[in-house]
Amino acid sequence: MLVIDNCRLTWPDFTADYSLSVPTGNLCAVIGPSGGGKTTLLHMIAGFERPERGTLTFDGRDLLPLEPAKRPVAIVFQDHNLFPHLSVAQNVGLGLRPSLRLSAEERALVGEMLDAVGLAGFDERRPGEMSGGQRQRVALARALVSGRPLILLDEPFSSLDPALRRDMILLVDALRRRRSVTILMTIHTPEDVADLADQMAFVADGRVVASGRPAEILDGALAPRIAAAVSDS
C-alpha cells in the first residue's frame, strides 16, 4: 500500500500538505482544479520534491530517504517523455539500463513491451515520426518495462482527443490488471476513468480534500466543486 501521511511542502506562495492511502494494485485517479497541487503530489512521490515533514511509504518501505532513481516508481509526463535523438526501442530500453547496453534477453523484453502497448514493429522509429498517442504508448512501455510496481501518470493523455484518450486509459487499465502494478493518474476529465478506477482523490489547495470510490466522490457533497474544477481546467 502507498501511504502518504501529513507530507508538507512549503513555497513562498503555496503550501501543500498531503495525506492519502492507495492499496497495492489499485488505479487511483487524482482530480482537481489547475494549480491545486496534483502534479506536486506526483512529483513528491517520485522524489522530485522533498517534503519538510511527514512520512511516505510503499508496501512498508520508507521512500523519503531514496533518490528518484532508487524509488520503486516510474513516471509518465504529459509531454516530453521521449528523447528525440533515440529510437523507440532505445527510449524503452532506458527503463532497463540507462547505459543502453542491453542483453539479448532485455532486448526481447523491450520488444514484448512494445507489443503489449500495440507498437510491435515500431522499434527503429524516431519519436518525431509518431503521433502523440503513439509517443505516450512508448512512454508507458518504458514505465512498465522498468518493472517498478508504482506507476505515476501525470496527465498523460490530456492532449489526445476523447476517443483516443479513452482507448489509452483502457490500455492502462488492462496492463495494470495483467501486471499487478499500482497506478496514480492525474486527470482532467473524471468521467474517462469513473468506471475503471478503484479510487478517486480530489486534490485542491495543496490538500487531498476527499478520497474514496469514484461514485462516492463524483456524486457526493463535492460534486459542484468537482464540476467547477473540471470546467476551469
Total residues belonging to the chain: 233
Q: If binding is defined by CB under 8 A, does position 85 make contact with other proteins? A: yes
Say whether residue 84 binds other proteins (CB under 8 A).
yes
- Tell the smallest beta-carbon distance from residue 52 to other proteins (Å): 17
Task: Give the residues across from 173 on adjacent strands.
Answer: none
Contact between 106 and other proteins by CB under 8 A: the answer reads no
Asked if 47 is part of the footprint of other proteins (rule: CB under 8 A), the reply reads yes
Question: What is the C-alpha separation between 193 and 131, in angstroms, rounded?
Answer: 23
Residue 80 in the binding site for other proteins (CB under 8 A): yes
Distance CA 134, CA 5 (A): 36
* Residues numbered 174-203 forming contacts with other proteins, rule: CB under 8 A: none
CA–CA gap between residue 130 and residue 153 (Å, rounded) = 20
Cβ–Cβ under 8 Å, residues 66 and 76: no
Tell which one of 99, 105, 224, 231 touches other proteins (CB under 8 A).
99
43 binds other proteins (CB under 8 A): yes
Q: How far is the C-alpha of 18 from the C-alpha of 56, rounded, in Å?
A: 10
Minimum gap (Å) between residue 46 Cβ and other proteins: 6
Residue 10 grid coordinates: 512549503
List the one residue from 27, 28, 75, 185 that touches other proteins (CB under 8 A): 75
Give me the least distance between CB of 143 and other proteins, in Å please: 10
Q: Which stretch binds other proteins (CB under 8 A): 5-13, 20-28, 41-49, 199-207?
A: 41-49
**Does 50 help bind other proteins (rule: CB under 8 A)?**
no
Binding of other proteins by 65 (CB under 8 A): no
For residue 158, state whether it binds other proteins (rule: CB under 8 A): no
Q: Does 74 help bind other proteins (rule: CB under 8 A)?
A: yes
Helix, strand, coil abundance in the chain, percent, nearest 5 = 35, 25, 40
Own/partner contacts of 110-116, CB < 8 Å, gap of 24 or more, are: 110/141, 110/145, 113/141, 113/142, 113/144, 113/145, 114/88, 114/89, 114/138, 114/141, 116/141, 116/144, 116/175
- Is residue 86 within the footprint of other proteins (CB under 8 A)? yes
Judged by the rule CB under 8 A, the positions of this chain that interact with other proteins are 43, 46-48, 67-71, 73-75, 77, 79-81, 83-86, 94-95, 98-99, 146
